[in-house]
Chain A
Amino acid sequence: MSEPAVVMEGITKRFPGVVANDAVDFRVERGTVHALLGENGAGKTTLMNVLYGLYDPDAGRILVDGEERSFDTPRDAIDAGVGMIHQHFMLVDPMTVAENVVLGNEPSKWFGLAVDRERATREVRELAEAYGFDVDPTATIEEESVGVQQRVEILKALYRGADVLILDEPTAVLTPQEVEDLFAVLEELTAEGKTVVFITHKLGEAMEAADDITVLRDGEAVGTVPAAETTREELAELMVGREVLLEVDSDPARPGDVALAAEGIRVEDHRGVDVVDGVDFSVREGEVFGIAGVDGNGQAELVEAITGMRVPDDGTVGFLGVDVTRASRRERIDAGMAYVPEDRQERGLVMDFDLVENGLLGSQHSPPFASGGVIDWDRSRDHAEAVIETFDVRPGDPDAEAESLSGGNQQKFVVGREFSRDPALIVASHPTRGVDIGSIEFIHRQLLEMRDDGRAVVLVSSKLDEVRQLSDRLAVMYEGEFVGTVDPDAVSEEELGLLMAGERPDGVEDLTVPVSPGPGDGEGDRAPEVTGPAGSDGPGPVGTTTNEDAVAAPGSDGSERLDEGEPSDGDAGESEDVGTPTPDEGSDAGATRRGDEE
């Protein structure tokens, strides 16, 4: 075998209070795709930033093509043929693709008095064609989709003569279709003799796209394995350092009284289009009500209407028997409604506040944290410390700014703060988005514990396995409506995929009516239209019906819409943030549907 493309030996990098990399050895063979796998905060990005010259290592040496190198700046790394594609693209939005690619290496004419724009455009076009990228050099970056922008980043590195390409979490921002395209690009690159290192915390991607996988844990390299000879379980264990339950076991729900009753919720967006179009549901204490669907089908707006981030244009929100449709956030919090928002950095935390202050958010006005407008900081600190302790937030320093925490730890802190309110209802929107495996498992357990404690939980997620595992009842949202509410254990992924595409498959039981302890429950009379005359069937412990009419109705006129919503359709998949876990499911769903039509 030829000389390895990159060898890093004994790399140690310390930050104040943390050892991000501890004597890491890392070796990448030429012409391969190498995945650097690890949980958030395991030191993957730090290691690659060392290789790219953004950080100076405290110890260790780097060999590129067998030659020892030391990189003080990215420029040195670029000169040695190492290029990096960052998670957040380093692109200048108003400039064109070509301008971005040549930035810092502009070809000039007239003795440097002008940029040779024709040559830049031509060179970038040739480069794109050489690797089969579909990129227009004259388009501005802001016009292009995220997938194209990523290819521009790759072109930037190639233009600078990179032989080794480092990609930091390249799939985090892509739709499933774009991920497939990216993997094809990686193959193209290695076929041309380039070497690719990509950082990820997703097991499946590492196994699918990489030739070799190196796992980092707590700043140490715990092993390198060929992708073909490993299993998900082995990788998960390497990542977390113990056995991971990829499935969470849960006892059956013991639902109590209705905690949340939403009736006829309708929300218009700023254009006046209905994004939530008449949604009814109720959630009982002691059950997890899941809301699944491809992102952007109205889930976010529905959650906002429930939690008081906006007032719905129609409909009412009942909470513990009280109409809270127009109640403020503060009133809802005081009444016992906790909210884990979708975007922790935008809504969950104040990034430059420390954890004591962030732990106080939402409670800053009420006892025991405040009285007479004065905050009891000692008590707030105890509270933050308790949340940190219980939810294993790292680093466990209450004085740390939220910004300094990794995404997973930020999320754990938000979840911890919300759970500690002693809520009657928890609305959790994508509670594990961007969180590493260990933390996902932990957050899932906590959610189920809250449920078993007799609290109501609304769980919104675009991850199918997550909503299926945790929910007791699962509603699927499509174009602002609930297409169906089902028992997650009784439906297959394919059937769920169909529902997410807006169609009700045959033979799926409807659970719009909550599983109720007895008859005479008022909620049963108010079923959404799509389920047909469900109210007449009466609620019961099974409380459900297979309604042939309802099954047929959307299918007969729904095929047109279906094409739009189907994730495997290249067009739709390119720009929309399609939340189905893998594109395979989308095509399965599509295949089933086509079969039905014939």
Chain B
Amino acid sequence: MSSATDVRRAVGDWADTKRRIAGLAVLAAVVLWALVGVVLPSSAVGGAFWWTLGLTADAVRIGTRESTIRAALRLSVPIGFAALGGIFAEKSGVINIGLEGLLIISAFTGVLVTDLLGPGTGWLLVPAIGPLPAIAMPSIWIGFLAAVLASTLLALLFAVVCIEFRADQIIAGLAVWLIALGLAPFASRVVYGTVNSDGVGTLGTWTVPGLSALPVVGPILFQAAPTVLMLLVAVPASWYLLNRTTFGRWVRASGENPKALDTAGVSVHRVRYAGVLLSGVLSGIGGAGLSLGHVGLFIGNGQTMVNGKGFIAITAYLFGNYNPFGAFGASVLFAGLDALQIRLQQLPAYDIPESLVQTIPFVTVIVALVLVGRTRLPAAAGEHYESGEE
């Protein structure tokens, strides 16, 4: 049609070609490696080939076990929820790299509130708050809600600082992480005398009637921790919210061209607050899902029990190109690699350092970005927007 488009297309073609060449080069290298393995099995390179082949076979064998898959789903709860939250924040134009901090604060708050209320399965009466009627609920679920509230409040602080006071989003996001990283273990030490909390039990298992009877997937997907089931609902719900509703349109416009949204009469600030608060709510569910849904206590050693899952969440949604389904897939993949790694460590043949395995998500993202190259950041992500300024 137009020549500008042709040029862009030509450039795109060339980028595709480069990617194809890179893909072929990787393939050729693998084939060459296999050849060396066949011809010279005792050489270092050849030996490494057979070792890798064995590892792959073991990985497939262990990775397809039901227990591994269940573990992968469980581990994907914090990553997946934080990734969904990150999508909403970043699509609205606010890069929230404080997801890690939101996970930490909610993981701890959930345990703390449950413990203060008295752990166990006793039901507590929640008094009426405003228009909400009084209801009875187990203490651990009140703790769960408190976790979501804590994460949302921290996200609100982040939003105010970024949107109202025009702070740099990256620095403010790092601050959120560092605040949570310091605050949660400190509070734990004050309450429990150590950075690790007491055990408070878990949310248990929910069984979805009917669906859990399905062969193969039934027991894995529909007889699981409540937070796993919530994630399975949250992924399509997020996709729908983002792609089919008016709110989702506004979120996307706010991140791509906030001025377009502003001149259309929609407040960019409000949309961005909503996006960031939503990231707080979702991360809160993820954090509580980690401590209350899975482990039953808060671990505050080192990087705390969250241990980089918030950052992996960022790579997960980038890997999934801001598509909730893609982000979920990436979360399960990364969580699965983690689950696999723990199990492979137990085999004597593979003494792989854990820290090496933990780099896999990040290496995967870089490789995928080079080979696939379709992740496209929202055009106005990270930029402050003020109505009425040129």
**A residues lining the B interface (CB < 8 Å):** 54-55, 73-75, 78, 84, 86, 88, 90-95, 99-100, 103-106, 108, 112-115, 143, 145, 156, 270-271, 572, 574-576
| CB–CB B4/A92 < 8 A | no
| CB–CB B252/A95 < 8 A | yes
In this complex, what residue of B is CB-closest to A143? B5
| CB–CB A115/B249 < 8 A | yes
Q: List 10 A-B contacts (CB under 8 A).
A: A90-B259, A92-B257, A93-B379, A94-B252, A94-B256, A103-B249, A105-B265, A108-B246, A114-B245, A271-B14
In this complex, what residue of B is CB-closest to A269? B7
In this complex, what residue of A is CB-closest to B262? A74
Q: Could you say which residues of chain A place their CB within 8 Å of the CB of B245?
A: 113-115
Interface mask (B7-18 → A, CB under 8 Å = 1, otherwise 0) = 000110010000
| CB–CB A271/B256 < 8 A | no
Whether A106 touches B249, Cβ cut-off 8 Å, given contacts A90-B259, A143-B5, is yes
| CB–CB A84/B263 < 8 A | yes
Smallest CB separation, B177 vs chain A (Å): 29
| CB–CB A92/B246 < 8 A | no
Q: Which 8 A-B pairs have the closest CB atoms?
A: A575-B2, A104-B264, A75-B265, A90-B260, A106-B246, A92-B256, A103-B264, A90-B263
In addition to A54-B388, A271-B14, 16 A-B residue pairs with Cβ atoms within 8 Å of each other are A74-B262, A74-B263, A74-B265, A90-B259, A90-B260, A90-B264, A92-B257, A94-B256, A94-B376, A103-B253, A104-B265, A112-B246, A115-B245, A271-B11, A574-B2, A575-B4
B346 adjacent to chain A (CB < 8 Å): no
Q: For the complex, give the distance between the alpha carbons of A95 and B242 in Å.
A: 13
| CB–CB B246/A575 < 8 A | no
B61 adjacent to chain A (CB < 8 Å): no
In this complex, what residue of B is CB-closest to A94? B256
| CB–CB A115/B256 < 8 A | no
| CB–CB A156/B264 < 8 A | yes
Q: For the complex, give the distance between the alpha carbons of A556 and B100 in Å.
A: 70
Give the residues from 319 to 359 in chain B that come closer than 8 angstroms, CB to CB, to chain A: none
Q: Could you say which residues of chain A place their CB within 8 Å of the CB of B256?
A: 92-95
Smallest CB separation, A136 vs chain B (Å): 12
B266 adjacent to chain A (CB < 8 Å): yes
Q: Could you say which residues of chain A place their CB within 8 Å of the CB of B11?
A: 270-271
Give the residues from 247 to 275 in chain B that come closer than 8 angstroms, CB to CB, to chain A: 249-250, 252-253, 256-257, 259-266
| CB–CB B2/A145 < 8 A | yes
Q: For the complex, give the distance between the alpha carbons of A112 and B241 in Å.
A: 12
Smallest CB separation, B152 vs chain A (Å): 23
In this complex, what residue of A is CB-closest to B255? A92
In this complex, what residue of A is CB-closest to B265? A75
Q: Could you say which residues of chain A place their CB within 8 Å of the CB of B252?
A: 92, 94-95
B1 adjacent to chain A (CB < 8 Å): yes
In this complex, what residue of B is CB-closest to A104? B264
In this complex, what residue of A is CB-closest to B2? A575
Smallest CB separation, B257 vs chain A (Å): 5
Q: Could you say which residues of chain A place their CB within 8 Å of the CB of B264?
A: 74, 90, 103-105, 156
Q: Could you say which residues of chain A place their CB within 8 Å of the CB of B244?
A: 114-115
| CB–CB B3/A103 < 8 A | no
Q: Could you say which residues of chain A place their CB within 8 Å of the CB of B250?
A: 103-104
Q: Could you say which residues of chain A place their CB within 8 Å of the CB of B249?
A: 95, 99, 103, 106, 115
Smallest CB separation, A407 vs chain B (Å): 12
Whether A93 touches B246, Cβ cut-off 8 Å, given contacts A104-B264, A143-B5, is no
In this complex, what residue of A is CB-closest to B246? A106
| CB–CB A92/B260 < 8 A | yes
In this complex, what residue of B is CB-closest to A272? B14
User: On chain B, which size bracket covers the interface?
Assistant: 20 to 34
| CB–CB B10/A271 < 8 A | yes
Smallest CB separation, A342 vs chain B (Å): 17
Whether A115 touches B4, Cβ cut-off 8 Å, given contacts A54-B388, A90-B263, A92-B253, is no
| CB–CB A86/B4 < 8 A | no
Q: For the complex, give the distance between the alpha carbons of A301 and B4 in Å.
A: 17
Q: Could you say which residues of chain A place their CB within 8 Å of the CB of B266?
A: 103-104
Q: For the complex, give the distance between the alpha carbons of A86 and B11 in Å.
A: 30
Q: Could you say which residues of chain B place their CB within 8 Å of the CB of A145?
A: 1-2, 4
In this complex, what residue of B is CB-closest to A273? B10
| CB–CB A91/B260 < 8 A | yes
Q: For the complex, give the distance between the alpha carbons of A104 and B3 in Å.
A: 33
Most buried by A among B246, B257, B263: B263
Q: For the complex, give the distance between the alpha carbons of A501 and B232 in Å.
A: 62
Q: For the complex, give the distance between the alpha carbons of A108 and B247 in Å.
A: 11
| CB–CB A576/B261 < 8 A | no
Q: For the complex, give the distance between the alpha carbons of A74 and B261 in Å.
A: 11
Q: For the complex, give the distance between the alpha carbons of A88 and B245 in Å.
A: 27
Which among A55, A73, A113, A574 is the interface contact of B265 at CB below 8 angstroms?
A73
| CB–CB B265/A78 < 8 A | yes
Q: Could you say which residues of chain A place their CB within 8 Å of the CB of B260?
A: 90-92, 100, 103
Q: For the complex, give the distance between the alpha carbons of A99 and B246 in Å.
A: 10
Q: Could you say which residues of chain B place their CB within 8 Å of the CB of A114?
A: 244-245
Q: Could you say which residues of chain B place their CB within 8 Å of the CB of A104?
A: 250, 261, 264-266
In this complex, what residue of B is CB-closest to A101? B264
Smallest CB separation, A565 vs chain B (Å): 11
Q: For the complex, give the distance between the alpha carbons of A167 and B256 in Å.
A: 23
In this complex, what residue of A is CB-closest to B244? A114
Smallest CB separation, A93 vs chain B (Å): 6
Whether A90 touches B2, Cβ cut-off 8 Å, given contacts A271-B10, A271-B11, is no
Give the residues from 355 to 390 in chain B that come closer than 8 angstroms, CB to CB, to chain A: 376, 379, 388
In this complex, what residue of B is CB-closest to A99? B249
Q: Could you say which residues of chain A place their CB within 8 Å of the CB of B261?
A: 92, 103-104
Most buried by B among A54, A78, A104, A112: A104
Smallest CB separation, A343 vs chain B (Å): 17
| CB–CB B257/A575 < 8 A | no
Q: For the complex, give the distance between the alpha carbons of A156 and B263 in Å.
A: 10
Q: For the complex, give the distance between the alpha carbons of A456 and B245 in Å.
A: 62
In this complex, what residue of B is CB-closest to A296? B3
Q: For the complex, give the distance between the alpha carbons of A232 and B257 in Å.
A: 39
Q: For the complex, give the distance between the alpha carbons of A94 and B257 in Å.
A: 10
In this complex, what residue of A is CB-closest to B378? A94
Q: For the complex, give the distance between the alpha carbons of A415 and B379 in Å.
A: 32
Q: For the complex, give the distance between the alpha carbons of A90 and B2 in Å.
A: 22
Smallest CB separation, A90 vs chain B (Å): 4
Q: For the complex, give the distance between the alpha carbons of A304 and B14 in Å.
A: 24
Q: Could you say which residues of chain B place their CB within 8 Å of the CB of A75?
A: 265
Smallest CB separation, B82 vs chain A (Å): 24
Q: Could you say which residues of chain B place their CB within 8 Å of the CB of A112?
A: 246
Q: Could you say which residues of chain B place their CB within 8 Å of the CB of A113?
A: 245
Q: Could you say which residues of chain A place their CB within 8 Å of the CB of B4?
A: 145, 575-576
In this complex, what residue of A is CB-closest to B380? A92
| CB–CB A95/B388 < 8 A | no
| CB–CB B3/A576 < 8 A | yes
Smallest CB separation, B121 vs chain A (Å): 36
Q: For the complex, give the distance between the alpha carbons of A100 and B260 in Å.
A: 9
Q: For the complex, give the distance between the alpha carbons of A103 and B254 in Å.
A: 11
Q: Could you say which residues of chain B place their CB within 8 Å of the CB of A92?
A: 252-253, 256-257, 260-261
In this complex, what residue of B is CB-closest to A113? B245
Give the residues from 78 to 99 in chain B that come closer than 8 angstroms, CB to CB, to chain A: none
Smallest CB separation, B260 vs chain A (Å): 4
Whether A90 touches B257, Cβ cut-off 8 Å, given contacts A105-B264, A575-B3, A575-B4, is yes
